Amino acid sequence: MFPGCLLLIQFLSLLINVAADQAPGYSALDNGQGETPCQMMSSIENCSGALKLRDATGASPSPTKCTCTNVYFNVWSACLLSTGTANSLALSNNWTSTCEQQGITLVTDQYSSSNSLGLPPWAFTSLPVNQSFNIAAALQGAAYAVSHLF
């Protein structure tokens, strides 16, 4: 391998890691274990308390029974927004159609404080009527939940 190629690979790896970092101001969306929306997203994809790795560019994930939920849509959207990788946000009707094309009906999960992944209440909001995730409402809800802990 050429020395220049190795340097290029290391640089690209650094860029991917930087893009996956959460931007300041979004830490309110972290769960009680300090996991970011992107880490929670990975847990949902695994369907076992921990999800499949996704493309670092924010490309659409594969629809599965684990990902075809309102919770996944919300966490995925928060991940894209909080890392600044959202060139365009996923629209809820597009995600619903993608799931249905695979024969999977999108499920609306309700919040349970004992959910196995420790997902925060904002992740359980219904799919947005205006089609795109409302980050302001999620941040406001997260801040409200934290303020009532003390």
Low-confidence winner among 27-31, 55-59, 110-114, 142-146 (lowest mean pLDDT): 55-59
What does the alpha-carbon distance between residue 58 and residue 14 come to, in Å, rounded to a whole number?
16
What total of structural domains would you count in the chain?
A: 1
What does the alpha-carbon distance between residue 150 and residue 146 come to, in Å, rounded to a whole number?
8
Tell me whether residue 108 is in a domain: yes
- Direct distance between the N- and C-terminal alpha carbons of the chain, in angstroms, rounded to an integer: 57
pTM, to two decimals:
0.72
Query: Is the per-residue pLDDT at 86 higher than 80?
Result: no
149 pLDDT band, cuts 50/70/90, is: very low
Tell me whether residue 4 is in a domain: no
Tell me whether residue 21 is in a domain: no
Low-confidence winner among 19-23, 124-128, 145-149 (lowest mean pLDDT): 145-149
Tell me whether residue 7 is in a domain: no
Tell me whether residue 5 is in a domain: no
Tell me whether residue 9 is in a domain: no
Cα torsion 120, 80, 98, 114 to 10°: value is: -10
Residue 70 lies in domain: 29-147
